[in-house]
Amino acid sequence: QVQLVESGGGLVQPGGSLRLSCSGSERTFRTYTVGWFRQAPGKEREFVAAITVRFIYYTDSVKGRFTISRDNAKNTVYLQMNSLKPEDTAVYYCAAAASASGSIDNGVFYDYWGQGTQVTVSS
């Protein structure tokens, strides 16, 4: 059982930056596929970014603004969010899967989920 703990959310002005962290309890966390999803009020959950051992994926709306990375020594995956827009406002969730192949942009691919962290972009 992998436990995921997210942190780093908050209130930021448009154009600002935040860095989200997702820490995993499993000692082999570095081999897991880790994805970030978000859900805005009244909207469905959507894929944001994912990182496998070899590859990185982004949804089109965040390309060039968000960067996903991992620090294997700390069992942590980061989502650096720059040039934030009001439409980025949502609860952000990290998720982990032992597999590296499949529909990485689909929530059903993932086995474990964090509790979520609120990101609000507003002036």
Are 22 and 52 within 8 A, CB to CB?
Answer: no
pLDDT tens for 24-68 read 998 889 999 999 999 999 999 999 999 999 999 999 999 999 999
From 112, 121, 84, select the one nearest 23 (Cα to Cα): 112
Amino acid identity for residue 116 in this structure: G
Per-residue pLDDT at 21: 98
Amino acid identity for residue 21 in this structure: S
pLDDT tens for 71-81 read 999 999 999 99
pLDDT tens for 85-123 read 999 999 999 999 998 888 999 999 999 999 999 999 999
Are 81 and 65 within 8 A, CB to CB?
Answer: yes
